[in-house]
Amino acid sequence: MSEEQKRLLETQLWNIANELRGKMDADEFRDYILGFIFYKYLSEKQLLFANKLLETETVKDYTLVTDAEDLAAIKEESLLHLGYYLKPGELFDAIAQKGNANTEHESDFILEDLKGILNSIEQSTMGTDSEDDFNKLFEDLDLNSTKLGRSVEARNKLISKILGHLSKIDFELGNANSDVLGDAYEYLIAQFASGAGKKAGEFYTPQQVSKVLAGIVTAGKARLRSVYDPTCGSGSLLLRVAREADVEEFYGQELNRTTYNLARMNMILHDVHFSRFDIRQDDTLENPHHTEKRFEAIVANPPFSAKWKGKDNPLNETDERFSQYGKLAPGSKADFAFVQHMVYHLADNGTMACVLPHGVLFRGAAEGTIREYLIKKLNYLDAVIGLPANIFYGTGIPTCILVISKCRTQPDNILFIDASQGYEKVGNQNRLTEDHIDKILTTYRNRAVIDKYSHVATLDEVAANDYNLNIPRYVNTFEEEEQIDIAAIATQLHALEESMAATDAQIAAFCKELNLPTPF
């Protein structure tokens, strides 16, 4: 599919989403439209899979299968390979056609049918390996919400209209080389993020930043055994890593229940088999999952300077993630708590890249102690990258990326990159272009020293700065003013004075000839 066709699909989906605009907040109608797209995806995937199984049978169209044994066999295979099952009458097109039938019969009412189908998808996974991945996946699709319409009839009409629009779009799931729907889904998530204000940071990392993080943790690697995001939001950052290298397994944790559901949908919709991802819903710092796992790559965009229990939870003092550093991150700023958590889960051959507010580079007290231990005792800090301000939705603060590795190739220094001035203005946001991203990644991979952009600092140099990592201490971006030649300026002024005197004399002569008073 061409770029033009991809843009057309994105526009079509966004226009359908706008059927709900004005009725509810952006994050609310996001959940509905993405949920319906996901249901259509599951239906088309089921139809393609079942038709493949029926290639040698008399009835080759799954929508026409009625034999109980055939249906049971298709269900068994579907649960094994897809992780869920939809009956022929539960497929998206069937319910969409029913809702948009040109009749006045009761069969036009589809809300109860739709509720039953979404519940059936979840129920089909009960007792199977995919149960956790589909459990309460559609809980945010409240078809009884008055925000969809004040009456049942109004809600039914709106939902039927949206399903009807979606049914006309070909997701091209039969094209093995196409990830058009995945790209369109990411586009919609980005569009919703741009309109969600401060809430956007809860579920989405801008793709430009994701590319940088993914490029760092995959540097020199074509395959990763595992990738982990402890604050995974919609899962977009995990999926971005998979575009840079083959990833065997995905792991993540997310506190917000709605965003957790979105992450699971995003994984499945990008054709990540349910056996290859494990995403949990809970507080990462207080109730971590995957405690015994160590990951080859870790990427994260944690909530900036979030509050956490810190010293208020006595268990944190003895927690293996935090205890060796001598100090706990302050309760008002959990930034380093997330860093410590990720360092703990990093494999010996692993690299992590984490977006954080600039304050982690220079704040003192407990954070200074943690920073010093991370560099002096562990020597895991590989690079510090300064990003432009105003590139994240909902906040204009400048940010940085800490790159931490347990397999450093140059353990005697730390690379500093000041990429804060490399951006383009798009509306109210700043964004990194492909050239800006490429410059950051090339500089990191080559550990290049570029005047006013990057510097390789020895560990002694960092120690001399008392482990303060503020980038201007290492990368001098000061632009010297051009030197002024005072003698040349004096000569120019003298020449101007002579010229002005000659001009005055000429004006005086003219005035005398015309018998006029001179103006000076």
Q: Residue 501's pLDDT band (boundaries 50, 70, 90)?
A: confident
CA distance 115 to 396: 41
Contacts for 412 with CB less than 8 Å, ≥ 6 apart: 458, 459
What confidence score (pLDDT) does residue 107 get?
45
344-367 pLDDT, tens digit each: 999 999 999 999 999 999 999 999
What confidence score (pLDDT) does residue 195 get?
61
114-149 pLDDT, tens digit each: 999 999 999 999 999 999 999 999 998 999 988 888
Contacts for 14 with CB less than 8 Å, ≥ 6 apart: 187, 188, 191
514 beta partners: none
403 beta partners: 353, 383
Q: Which helix (H) or strand (E) holds 357?
A: strand 346-357
Task: Specify the pTM.
Answer: 0.87
What confidence score (pLDDT) does residue 200 get?
47
Query: Closest Cα to residue 431, out of 440, 439, 422?
Result: 422
Task: For CATH 3.40.50.150, list the domain ranges present in the chain.
Answer: 197-473
Q: Which fold has domain 3-194?
A: Ferritin (1.20.1260)
CA distance 343 to 350: 9
Task: Please state, for a pLDDT cut of 90, what percent of the chain lies above it.
Answer: 68
**Strands 413-418, 454-458: parallel, antiparallel or unpaired by DSSP?**
antiparallel
Task: For CATH 1.20.1260.30, list the domain ranges present in the chain.
Answer: 3-194
Q: Residue 407's pLDDT band (boundaries 50, 70, 90)?
A: very high
Burial class (CB in 10 A: 0-12, 13-18, 19+), 50: buried
What confidence score (pLDDT) does residue 480 get?
62
Model confidence at 500: pLDDT above 60:
yes
Query: Closest Cα to residue 330, out of 371, 374, 381, 283?
Result: 371
* 177 CB neighbour count, 10 Å cutoff: 6
What confidence score (pLDDT) does residue 296 get?
98
CA distance 274 to 137: 13
Model confidence at 424: pLDDT above 60:
yes
Task: Give whole-number Cα distances, 269 to 51, 70, 118, 228, 265, in Å.
Answer: 20, 26, 16, 19, 6
Task: Please state, for a pLDDT cut of 70, what percent of the chain lies above it.
Answer: 92
Query: Closest Cα to residue 304, out of 420, 216, 200, 382?
Result: 200
Considering only 43-57, 245-259, 410-424, 498-512, which range has the smallest mean pLDDT?
Answer: 498-512
Model confidence at 235: pLDDT above 50:
yes
CA distance 255 to 519: 81
Q: Which two tokens stand for residue 136?
A: 């309460």
Q: CATH number of the domain at 197-473, please?
A: 3.40.50.150
Task: Give whole-number Cα distances, 34 to 91, 109, 163, 237, 338, in Å.
Answer: 17, 22, 12, 18, 29
CA 272 to chain CA centroid, Å, is 17
* 183 CB neighbour count, 10 Å cutoff: 16
What confidence score (pLDDT) does residue 100 get?
82
